[in-house]
Amino acid sequence: MVVKLFYAPGACSLASHICLIEGKAQFEAERVDLKTKITASGGDFRAVTAKGYVPALMLGSGEVVTENVAVLSYLAGELPALGLSGERPWRISRRKSTRASNLCSRAQIRKNNPELAPLSLIASGI
Ligand SMILES: N[C@@H](CCC(=O)N[C@@H](CS)C(=O)NCC(=O)O)C(=O)O
């Protein structure tokens, strides 16, 4: 799976970023300035998603998945190494991933939620 995550440091896209790393995905990540909506390579982020929100996950097909719950559910299903996509919905891993996804769908979780944002990753600037 080769995908591209559009993210902003410390934003709710961090959850997707963690999943890509821990799920051992092949991926690219492009930083977005949420104020200007310009990406690190100088692109117009609104051309990727008109909403201008991270996370946005561009698939190999060019399709762009937006909304935390959709992106995280997609990654849970595509990356077995995460161990988050149990067939039985009552599995603990499934409940945890659903809870985390829902929490991330709020705009203002940012850096002050240690459950979702390990300090080591925040410090590394993703
Ligand atoms: N409902 C969206 C919310 C995404 C969201 O609010 N992202 C924030 C960062 S945590 C953002 O990109 N804000 C940009 C802005 O407010 O212009 C989702 O769950 O993906």
Instruction: Among 13-17, 62-66, 76-80, 112-116, name the one with the lowest average pLDDT.
Output: 112-116
With H, G, I as helix, E, B as strand and everything else as coil, classify residue 2. strand
Domains of the chain: 2-117 (3.40.30.10)
125 Ramachandran zone, left/alpha/beta (phi>0; psi -120 to 50): left
Q: Can you say how many angstroms the Cα of residue 62 is from the centroid of all Cα atoms in its chain?
A: 17
Query: 113 CB under 6 A from ligand 1?
Result: no
**Strand 38-39 versus strand 2-7 pairing type:** unpaired
Cis amide prior to 55 (ω within 30 degrees):
yes
Give the confidence band of 51 by pLDDT, cuts at 50, 70, 90.
Answer: very high
For the stretch 71-113, pLDDT in tens is 988 998 899 888 777 666 556 777 777 777 777 666 555 555 5
Q: Can you say how many angstroms the Cα of residue 94 is from the centroid of all Cα atoms in its chain?
A: 17
% of the chain residues with pLDDT over 70:
76
- For the CA of 71, the closest atom of ligand 1 is 20
Query: 68 CB under 6 A from ligand 1?
Result: yes
